[in-house]
Structure 1
Amino acid sequence: MTETSLQGRVAVVTGASRGIGYFLSRALAAEGVHVIAVARTVGGLEDLDDEIKAAGGSATLVPLDLTDYDGLDRLGAAIYERWGKLDMLVGNAGMLGGLSPLGHVDIKTWDKVMALNVTANWRLIRSLDPLLRQSDAGRAVFLTSSAAHKCKAFWGPYSASKAALEALVRTYAAETRSMGVCANLLNPGAMRTAMRAKAMPGEDPETLPHPAEVAPQIIRLLRPDFTDTGRLYDRPSDSFKDYEPLVV
């Protein structure tokens, strides 16, 4: 096995039943990764499993609402019992929460956005960090958005949640710098996803990149020989640039 090979490694991918998570899971499985696919939608997970198996790969399906925090703890325990480690974590699941002036945001909507986009990712780190440390090259990638920095009108809950996620991941990267775990953020930019369609209902989705196109760039950050940590990678177009290190 080479330093770039993913054969035999184990990955958790959230939001795996559709969009970026779906096509990333397929791409990882094609490289020999056993994918632990987490999502609420059972039908989408079953479709994913069928495609992975048809291509000769393997997956474990976990129908789970990520705001079931006790469920995330059970997930960590189950992974430890079966594999004793985790090589890759991809925090992809997220929600928009609707567009509204801050003063009009429903309290339940605010709480749901923060619960999924921020707290669920913290609980994933809390549950799976010990397993990532057991890997010879633990890697974690969380998907963010330019909304965290643009702070456009009416995008308050989503923007605030992604800014909090970025702070969370940067802190985790700082805490694990000397332990062989690398944690990074990736902004995929505008993609042909259900969330984008909800935010931009008048936009022609055919003008946007397909979610499968970002999978190779996420996989790049998950390879054992990729040792940068605490960085934000931006994919606003087909170019792929990295910002200055966020961890010093």
Structure 2
Amino acid sequence: MTPAPDLSNRIALVTGASRGIGYHIARQMAAAGAHVIAVARTVGGLEELDDEIKAERARTGRGEATLVPLDLTDMQGIDRLGGAINDRWGKLDILVANAGVLGVIAPIGHVEAKVFDKVMAVNVTATWRLIRSVDPLLRLSDAGRAILLSSGAAHSARAFWAPYAASKAAVEALGRSWADETRNMKLRVNCVDPGRTRTAMRAQAAPGEDPATLPHPSEIAANILPLASPELTETGRIFQAKPQRWVSYRMPE
């Protein structure tokens, strides 16, 4: 496994930080020295994360957190978040756009409009709004890093996964376009497919699956962390997180 990068004095924004992969990314970034702005709807999960980060800081003197309870369907709230980060820190070093919803696993003609609209609102529109809100702040960093969570569903386009697959394909397109816009800047933008992981979303998608056969989200988070490194040079790529290893590929031009 790649060693965790040194994120001392970096400001990192992580969405969906109250559970699953986002929770462990936030916790590990704090352990690596970052000040984590942890965003999620669930206050209890954010408080648990904060307790873990405070305990780690008491042991090592590294890492802090600022908790932001926010539903990402609150688009104006996302806009205000960028302003608040600017007022307090004047920049942002790392963005991890992790929050997302599955919707339903169903034939495309059976998906209710309100379900489709929510998947697109949370997974796509909120991601775009977040990018728009923090792009100027990431450009002010000496090594801005953006990590957008995607899914293998974006490429497999399996039966019954249409809304989720479409939303993640859109996220990848946003990320690749953003990376191309900023290719000559210090900002690096990459997407990552975490793969099958022991999360609540995976349990919803595959209720008969044995979770013990899947990697823990802390393992996947540790594999994603190198994309936040100030030493990273790659941009516009889509990575697959595998336990103990990385696989990366550039999508066709």
Place the TM-score, normalised by the shorter chain, in its bin: over 0.9
> What are the equivalent positions in structure 2 for 1:146-225 lying under 5 Å apart?
146-225=152-231
Aligned equivalent of 1:16: 17
Q: CA deviation at 1:227?
A: 1.3
Matched, 1:140 2:184: no
Matched, 1:7 2:13: no
Q: Secondary structure at the match of 1:55?
A: helix
Aligned equivalent of 2:121: 115
How many residue pairs get aligned? The number is 244
Q: CA deviation at 1:178?
A: 1.0
Q: Deviations over 1:11-65 (max 9, x none)?
A: 0000000000001111000011000000000000000001101110310000000
CA distance in 2, matches of 1:161, 1:236: 22
Q: CA deviation at 1:239?
A: 3.2
Q: Deviations over 1:222-244 (max 9, x none)?
A: 1011010000011355431111x
What amino acid does structure 2 have at the position aligned with 1:29?
Answer: A
What amino acid does structure 2 have at the position aligned with 1:111?
Answer: D
Q: Which runs of 5+ in 2 are unaligned?
A: 58-62
Q: Which runs of 5+ in 1 are unaligned?
A: none
Q: Deviations over 1:57-88 (max 9, x none)?
A: 31000000011110011100000000000000
Q: TM-score, normalised by structure 1?
A: 0.96
Q: Secondary structure at the match of 2:21?
A: helix
CA distance in 1, matches of 2:243, 2:217: 13
CA distance in 1, matches of 2:208, 2:252: 39
Contact 2:223 2:243 in 1 (8 A): no
Matched, 1:130 2:133: no
Aligned equivalent of 1:41: 42
Aligned equivalent of 2:76: 70
Q: Deviations over 1:173-196 (max 9, x none)?
A: 000111211100111110000000
Matched, 1:84 2:85: no
CA distance in 1, matches of 2:175, 2:199: 24
CA distance in 1, matches of 2:84, 2:245: 39
Q: Deviations over 1:157-184 (max 9, x none)?
A: 0000011111010000000111211100
Q: TM-score, normalised by structure 2?
A: 0.94
Aligned equivalent of 1:59: 65
Stretch moving more, 234-243 or 64-73: 234-243
What amino acid does structure 2 have at the position aligned with 1:22?
Answer: Y
Contact 2:27 2:52 in 1 (8 A): yes
Contact 2:95 2:147 in 1 (8 A): yes
CA distance in 1, matches of 2:240, 2:183: 21
CA distance in 2, matches of 1:238, 1:32: 22
Q: Secondary structure at the match of 2:85?
A: helix
Contact 1:173 1:247 in 2 (8 A): no
Aligned equivalent of 1:96: 102
What amino acid does structure 2 have at the position aligned with 1:170?
Answer: R
Q: Secondary structure at the match of 1:220?
A: helix
Contact 2:220 2:242 in 1 (8 A): no
Q: CA deviation at 1:216?
A: 2.2
CA distance in 2, matches of 1:206, 1:190: 12
Aligned equivalent of 2:247: 241
Percent identity reads 63
Aligned equivalent of 2:27: 26
CA RMSD of aligned residues (A): 1.2
Q: Secondary structure at the match of 2:9?
A: coil
CA distance in 1, matches of 2:199, 2:22: 11
